[in-house]
Amino acid sequence: MGKVFLIGAGPGDPELMTLKAARALGSADVVLIDDLVSRGCLAHARSGAKVVEVGKRGGCKSTAQAFIEKLMIQYARAGNVVARLKGGDPFVFGRGGEEMAALLAEGIEVEVIPGVTAGLAAPATLGIPVTHRELARGVTFVTGHAKEGAEADWKALARSGTTLVIYMGLARLGHIVAALLEAGLPAETPACVIQDATLKSQRELVSTLGALSAQGFESPAIIVVGAVVARGRAQAKARGDRKAA
């Protein structure tokens, strides 16, 4: 029986993958790689490794989750070391928990290697601290695309006083904004959209909740709502002024 590593590849930039992730990837016979993982991460795979594309991207044709789990079990049973390379962190909206359960049920050894999740890395690229002693007592990660039409409790989230970091919400941004406004968040609440965080193709819109728009943006994108967004914008302006001077 082989072994499976559930590896978080980080938010995009291959240099943000951890050393432990790189070492595990280098030991793998088979690499199952998600669509959102930078192919630069494969520089750490050994030359003879079999690379299997198991794409998953919102709004596009995706590999069925059950099929991915079947592949991991099949390769591990054949005695292979398998690297399941996932964007961000495998346990943050990455179905890592489902995959671990499926593997353990088959008696297959699993090791989880955490990664830097986009919900932390994307705001950081703009100097946005998701927590701040004066502005946000916590941060809440939430998905804008729930299973089978389930809906986040936007009223509770609006009352939480925490920074909201929304994954997979771009396609429903209009609905999310309307729900948060109805829940009582002021339209002037600072907010932003960040696409392709940490990559050269990164784009962002720093605005307010009431003016936030998905126009011109594509997935993958992170949405951040809260007073800390304004702190990041001010710090970015200060850095720009110093460079200009």
- Residues 227-243 have a mean pLDDT of 67
The Cα-based distances of 5 to 10, 35, 49, 82, 117 in angstroms read 15, 18, 14, 6, 17
Neighbours of 27 (CB within 10 A): 14
Query: Domain of 161: which CATH number?
Result: 3.30.950.10
CA distance 47 to 12: 22
To the query of whether residue 34 is one of the catalytic residues in this protein, the response is yes
> With contact defined as beta carbons under 8 Å apart, do 39 and 13 qualify?
no
83 shares its domain with 133: no
Nearest CA-CA partner of 99 in 141, 62, 70, 57:
70
Say what the pLDDT of residue 59 is: 54
244 lies in some domain:
no
| Buried b or exposed e, range 71-84, using 16+ CB within 10 angstroms | bbbebbeeebbbbb
Instruction: Check whether 238 has a pLDDT greater than 60.
Output: no
Rg (CA), the chain: 19
Domain residues for 44? 3-113
> With contact defined as beta carbons under 8 Å apart, do 80 and 5 qualify?
no
Model confidence at 193, in pLDDT bands (50, 70, 90)?
very high
Catalytic: which of 29, 34, 89, 196?
A: 34
Model confidence at 244, in pLDDT bands (50, 70, 90)?
very low
Residues 20-30: tens digit of each pLDDT? 999 999 999 99
Model confidence at 231, in pLDDT bands (50, 70, 90)?
confident
10 shares its domain with 105: yes
Catalytic: which of 56, 86, 89, 196?
A: 56
CA distance 161 to 154: 12
To the query of whether residue 17 is one of the catalytic residues in this protein, the response is no
- Residues 146-171 have a mean pLDDT of 90
Give the end of a domain, one of 65, 80, 113.
Answer: 113
122 shares its domain with 105: no
Global pTM value: 0.90
Model confidence at 236, in pLDDT bands (50, 70, 90)?
low
Neighbours of 59 (CB within 10 A): 11
Say what the pLDDT of residue 148 is: 67
177 shares its domain with 219: yes
Give the end of a domain, one of 78, 113, 148.
Answer: 113
Say what the pLDDT of residue 245 is: 41
Q: What's the structural domain count of the chain?
A: 2
245 lies in some domain:
no
Instruction: Check whether 86 has a pLDDT greater than 60.
Output: yes
The Cα-based distances of 101 to 95, 96, 105, 108, 237 in angstroms read 10, 9, 6, 10, 46
To the query of whether residue 168 is one of the catalytic residues in this protein, the response is yes
**Can you point out the beta strands (E) in 40-162?**
50-53, 81-86, 109-113, 139-143
Element (H, E) at 243: helix 228-244
Catalytic: which of 13, 86, 168, 196?
A: 168
DSSP conformation class of 10: B
